Amino acid sequence: MKAIAVISGGLDSTTLGYLMRDQGYKLEALSFNYGQRHRKELAFAETVARDLGAPWTLINLEAAGIGRMLRGSALTDASFEVPEGHYAAENMRVTIVPNRNAIMLAIACAAAGSSGAEAVALAVHAGDHPIYPDCRPDFIHSFEAMERIAMEGTAQISILAPFSSHSKADIVQLGDKLGVPFANTWSCYKGGEIHCGACGTCYERREAFQLAGVKDPTEYAAEPVFQAP
Amino acid sequence: MKAIAVISGGLDSTTLGYLMRDQGYKLEALSFNYGQRHRKELAFAETVARDLGAPWTLINLEAAGIGRMLRGSALTDASFEVPEGHYAAENMRVTIVPNRNAIMLAIACAAAGSSGAEAVALAVHAGDHPIYPDCRPDFIHSFEAMERIAMEGTAQISILAPFSSHSKADIVQLGDKLGVPFANTWSCYKGGEIHCGACGTCYERREAFQLAGVKDPTEYAAEPVFQAP
């Protein structure tokens, strides 16, 4: 069994890589520079791939000229502030990068086809669903159905999203069991020297370790601004 | 009404651009370098865009590192021969570039979202269907449905494929009425100095003009090898 894992260098996709390896998949890791301001995550992705013994490919959407189409998000556009507070809150909508996952999955399916992999795996999780339409199960199913037609006669690629029903705390618990080196993962959207501790994804990361009852090895620059979602 | 037209520089997509303009769309043109050996078509695409007054964007999938995933086709891989003979014949299957259209459409939808366009247009036609699964109406419909989910809350993009029921001869007749400068379009897969006249797409191009009863302005290097499909 061979699979392409989309690995960002974050906690979720790193755990995904360890899970897939645990399940016996021969892995290839695919990461994307889409102009994210926290592109320092990509160095973490490379390390994860090396630790997993998975060939690592970086796709540079910026170099292709696609980056500017993905502006208009706080993740990719310096004219927006990265919002602070709870990840599931409405103010996090500004972190949507429209159509990012469709572009990444389409490229990952081509990679799967060319390397003889039967599956593409993505670490979307239940906590993503309120904000990001392209993280929801109906998106994953619809994308897989589309690819069945697109690649008919060439390859039939399954899209695996094993964390679709997992909270981030569930992922931390699973990663803890699998021996994921959480200190070697990057979440913070601000992409500074250390995790800022206040942005939506730092908030979510810290909360996940607390809820999971797993020691958080992350060094944060500040306490989060705790707000009800 | 604003639309993104995927324009390769060939006869079909050039006619698509003229049709869309005739229908009142404000157009942006998007072209792709995916490592095709006939990438000289891209210079024709740029000219078409200029003639249509449409801003032209070239997406360089080669520079992104995606090119090697699209190898294994006679269009992108020098270790394959470009097949000669009739376009619809089984030997043309070697010209399939797996998942090319899904990648191009996903990027075009992001472009549409970022520029406020409501539609993406692609020049797939009925003659493509026997060979290329990602040119068929069910692929187009499935892709559009997937994007409705992926971009929910951001944009709702229609995928237009007005030539889905057209033969290439129908497209030539339509282009003739619309004043398309056919001499300024490129089809040949071999990408030489002039159209080779013998490869599948040269065969198809010449046949289309003959069937349409429209004068063919193309200079061909050789007579085609006429074979029953």
Residue B6 · residue B108 · CB < 8 Å: yes
pTM of the predicted protein model? 0.94
CATH code of the domain made up of A2-212:
3.40.50.620
- Dihedral of CA B83/B85/B91/B96: which sign? positive
Digit-coded pLDDT (tens) for A114-161: 999 999 999 999 988 888 999 999 999 999 999 999 999 989 999 999
Residue B4's pLDDT band (boundaries 50, 70, 90)? very high
Per-residue pLDDT at B55 exceeds 90: yes
pLDDT at A85: 75
Residue B60's pLDDT band (boundaries 50, 70, 90)? very high
Across the range B157-173, mean pLDDT stands at: 97
Per-residue pLDDT at A227 exceeds 60: no
Average pLDDT of chain A to the nearest whole number = 92
Flag if A98 and B114 touch (Cβ within 8 Å): yes
Range among A69-83, A166-180, B29-43 rated most confident: A166-180
pLDDT at A83: 83
Q: Find how far residue B59's CA is from the centre of its chain.
A: 14
pLDDT at B163: 98
Residues of B in contact with A6 (CB under 8 A): none
Residue A34, C-beta contacts closer than 8 angstroms, at least 6 positions apart: A61, A62, A66, A67, A70, A76, A97, A100, A103, A104
Digit-coded pLDDT (tens) for B199-221: 889 999 999 999 999 999 999 99
pLDDT at B50: 98
- What count of Cα atoms within 13 Å lies in the side-chain half-sphere of residue A9? 23
pLDDT at B229: 47
pLDDT at A228: 47
Per-residue pLDDT at B87 exceeds 70: no
Across the range A7-18, mean pLDDT stands at: 98
Digit-coded pLDDT (tens) for A203-215: 999 999 999 999 9
Flag if B150 and A107 touch (Cβ within 8 Å): no
Of the partner residues A100, A142, A149, the one whose CB lies closest to the CB of residue B133: A149
Across the range B22-39, mean pLDDT stands at: 94
Residue B63 touches partner A, C-beta closer than 8 Å: yes
Residue B143 touches partner A, C-beta closer than 8 Å: yes
Q: Residue B225 to residues B207, B228, B229: CA-CA distances in angstroms?
A: 12, 10, 11
Digit-coded pLDDT (tens) for B96-142: 888 999 999 999 999 999 999 999 999 999 988 888 999 999 999 99
pLDDT at A134: 93
**Percent of chain B topping pLDDT 90:** 73
Phi, psi of B60 (to 5 degrees): -100, 90
Question: Where along chain A do its domains lie?
Answer: 2-212
Q: How far apart are the first and last CA of chain B?
A: 40
**Percent of chain B topping pLDDT 70:** 96
Flag if B93 and A153 touch (Cβ within 8 Å): yes
Per-residue pLDDT at A226 exceeds 70: no
Residue B151 touches partner A, C-beta closer than 8 Å: yes
Residues of B in contact with A66 (CB under 8 A): 59, 64, 107, 110
Q: List the one residue out of B76, B33, B34, B41 whose CA is nearest residue B57.
A: B33
Q: Which residue of A has its CA nearest to B62?
A: A64
Across the range A93-117, mean pLDDT stands at: 93
d(C-alpha B89, C-alpha B50), whole Å: 35
Digit-coded pLDDT (tens) for B69-86: 887 788 888 888 888 877
